Structure 1
Amino acid sequence: MEKVDLALCLAVDASSSVDYDEFGLMLGGTAAALRDESVQAAISAGRHGAVAICLLMWSGQGAQAVALPWTRLDSPAATAAFADAVENAPRLVPAGATALGEGMAAGLALLGTLPAEASRLVMDVSGDGRHNQGRSPGPVRDIGVAAGVTINALAVLNEEPDLLDHYRAEVIGGPGSFAMHTPDYAAFAEAIRQKLLREIVGQPLVA
């Protein structure tokens, strides 16, 4: 794979707190965001005009799976094809506890296998619950930051209204890191669109 402007690991919560419909809204919303013209324009606007992206699902301890391997997005057609794959991806991990730190560690390991040189390394964590099993996310976050990875988060507040605070304290880190929230999965598509735009551009968006 040739050089890319960004390597982005999408790490999505597939634990028991995310029911079948919510999981569909999360993946469907991510796919819709990738199909958005502004997101596709941002992908092509970088120095290399390309982003490497992968999709990781995680739930309880020992339950992490690469749903989509590293893929180069360097055209609207490539991005649309990846969006289709996201929307149709099966739920590869069993519903269970929320081993957030374990999911983050798996995402960092994936970034370590990137088959390209990237100007920036980013992990995009999305979920609706705080860590309740396995390694604590804070130390995992610190390992990632030390390795040059920026970790951002999108908190879905349908079950835990204070989840954003947990993500800010324990999950995000690295240059330009940020946490966003959405009230529920119905609004996920717009939230992840804004998040992807901010991650691809690499700086806060002007309202």
Structure 2
Amino acid sequence: MAVSARAQQTPNAGERVDVELVLAADVSLSMDSEERRFQREGYIKALNSPEVLAAIVEGGWGRIALTYVEWAGEDSQTIIVPWTLIDSAATMKGFTDRISDTPSRAYHRTSISAVLEFSAALFDANGFRGMRRVIDVSGDGPNNQGRPVTESRDRIVAQGITINGLPVMIRAPGSGFFDIADLDRYYEHCVIGGPQSFIMPAVGWDGFALAVRRKLLLEIALKPDQPVIMLAQAQTESRPPPDCLVGERIWRDRGWRFDTP
């Protein structure tokens, strides 16, 4: 059963782990029920992969702290699985079983800024002490509600929290009212931040679990399973940076079409 942040039961205070990791998955209405199912299955498959499990147990402490959140609009964040100590295949299986056993629901709007702030608050008094604190956010569109995403990102990064991104680039650009071209560049310039932050685009559902697995390996072990990884780079591109308020502008121009914002 999904629980609120305040309802979480904390484990032993200050238990040492290699990383405290929030997995934040988009369930806005731009994803239909089949796409939400693919997303969950991708996370479950990646989390239970031998490579990810080996990276966990081979870490300095041999364990991580993990929580799984689904999100959409400014007031739509749900903790699907609260903070859990992961130190074996059995504890990971229990974690992912709770993901699969919880009904999925979609919500209106997309507020990356709100889920970043919600996720950052989850580190407070969670009962763990990680060498790193990481928010791993996946989504298929830009921020269109709440505080500007760059404001939230900068405030969270200043707390020593790293934000990584998995832009979900499944449909052709322009196939939906609120889709944008180059979602990966938007995530790179507007969403991620902090030490060793990176994006890992998922192009097509067939490659979603693979992208999640590669991202988890970087987040847990700080090393890729393959040398070709799309890391955040210095802004040396010849193109101008993307508009970090593009989602808000699109909603302002097109949102009137929808009865329920």
- Check whether TM > 0.5: yes
Partner of 1:34: 47
Partner of 2:26: 13
User: Is the Cα contact below 8 Å between 1:28 and 1:86 reproduced in 2?
Assistant: no
CA deviation profile, 1:129-159 (whole Å, cap 9, x unmatched) = 1111111111111111111111000011124
Aligned match for 1:88, one of 101, 105, 110: 101
SS in 1 for 2:66: strand
Could you tell me which amino acid in structure 2 is paired with residue 133 of structure 1? Q
SS in 2 for 1:4: strand
SS in 2 for 1:198: helix
After TM superposition, give the deviation of residue 204 of structure 1 in Å: 4.5
CA deviation profile, 1:40-61 (whole Å, cap 9, x unmatched) = 0000011111000001111112
Correspondences of 1:53-92 after superposition (within 5 Å): 53-91=66-104
Aligned match for 1:137, one of 143, 149, 161: 149
* Percent identity (aligned): 38
CA distance in structure 1 between the aligned counterparts of 2:224 and 2:158, rounded to whole angstroms = 22
Could you tell me which amino acid in structure 2 is paired with residue 143 of structure 1? R
Partner of 2:182: 162
**Higher RCO (CA-CA < 8 Å; seq separation 6+):** 1
Aligned match for 1:195, one of 200, 215, 229: 215
Partner of 1:116: 128
Partner of 1:186: 206
Partner of 2:6: none
Aligned match for 1:103, one of 115, 123, 135: 115
CA distance in structure 2 between the aligned counterparts of 1:129 and 1:202, rounded to whole angstroms = 27
Relative to structure 1, is the Cα distance of residues 113 and 21 closer, same or farther in structure 2, using a 3 angstrom cutoff?
farther
- Unaligned 5+ segments in structure 1 are none
User: Is the Cα contact below 8 Å between 1:30 and 1:86 reproduced in 2?
Assistant: no
- Higher-Rg member (1/2): 2
After TM superposition, give the deviation of residue 205 of structure 1 in Å: 4.7
SS in 2 for 1:27: helix
CA distance in structure 2 between the aligned counterparts of 1:150 and 1:26, rounded to whole angstroms = 22
CA deviation profile, 1:63-112 (whole Å, cap 9, x unmatched) = 111111000001111012112222333225x4210111111111111122
After TM superposition, give the deviation of residue 164 of structure 1 in Å: 0.6
Please state if 1:146 is matched with 2:166: no
CA distance in structure 2 between the aligned counterparts of 1:184 and 1:132, rounded to whole angstroms = 23
- Unaligned 5+ segments in structure 2 are 1-11, 172-179, 228-261
CA distance in structure 2 between the aligned counterparts of 1:169 and 1:136, rounded to whole angstroms = 13
Q: CA RMSD, aligned part only?
A: 1.4
User: Is the Cα contact below 8 Å between 2:18 and 2:62 reproduced in 1?
Assistant: yes
CA distance in structure 2 between the aligned counterparts of 1:18 and 1:138, rounded to whole angstroms = 24
User: Is the Cα contact below 8 Å between 2:80 and 2:98 reproduced in 1?
Assistant: no
